[in-house]
Amino acid sequence: MKAFDMTEAAHQRPARSYAWGALNLLGLAVAVATALADQGSKFWLLYEFDLPDRFRVAVTPFVDFVLTWNTGISYGLFPQRGPIGAWALLAFKVVAVVLLWVWLARASSRLTAVALGLIIGGAVGNAIDRLHWPGVMDFVLFHFETADFSFRWYVFNLADLAIVAGVAGLLYESLRQGRAAKAP
């Protein structure tokens, strides 16, 4: 049996945690702020601004507020009408958030932590919608119209915007470093 050697122990790398890392607090703060902003905007539009009774409100020449309920996933894919499908989508989001959290625990840059926080916060914000509404509340419609051309993007919310910004941050990070930001 080998005796314990202090110099050998000093050179061994400690095992990295799957639950907490150096940048988790930053990612958690971004995720909480994102989910709160998303939910706050939705409650304000529903109960203070009264968007359901206004149908469509022009915010700028290119952006309108319009209320829709997304019962599927991104872009309205795989719409679910029953409780089993809705709970399956919620379970999928929970698994995704757990995996993103593990990635966050192993993040080595602030940009990666912020990007993952945005994605986690957006996923949580949209998941909360499924718990108390008939689907995810979407309300921003980007559009462009001329006499000969009409373009309407899908209706989205702040959580969706945060998820897209987070993915863009991860892509930028991978391009900036010349390699992919590695997941665990």
For residue 156, give both structure tokens: 């989205």
Question: What residue ranges in 28-116 does DSSP mark as E strands?
Answer: 56-58, 63-70
Residue showing tokens 């509340």: 137
> Residue 129 catalytic?
no
Residue 46, Cβ neighbours under 10 Å: how many? 15
Cα angle 83, 89, 93; round to 5: 140
Residue 23: which of 92, 100, 122, 95 has the closest Cα?
Answer: 100
Residue 127, Cβ neighbours under 10 Å: how many? 20
> Residue 160 catalytic?
yes
Residue 79: which of 69, 92, 91 has the closest Cα?
Answer: 69
Catalytic-role residue among 38, 64, 129, 160: 160
Catalytic-role residue among 38, 64, 129, 138: 138
Catalytic residues: 138, 160
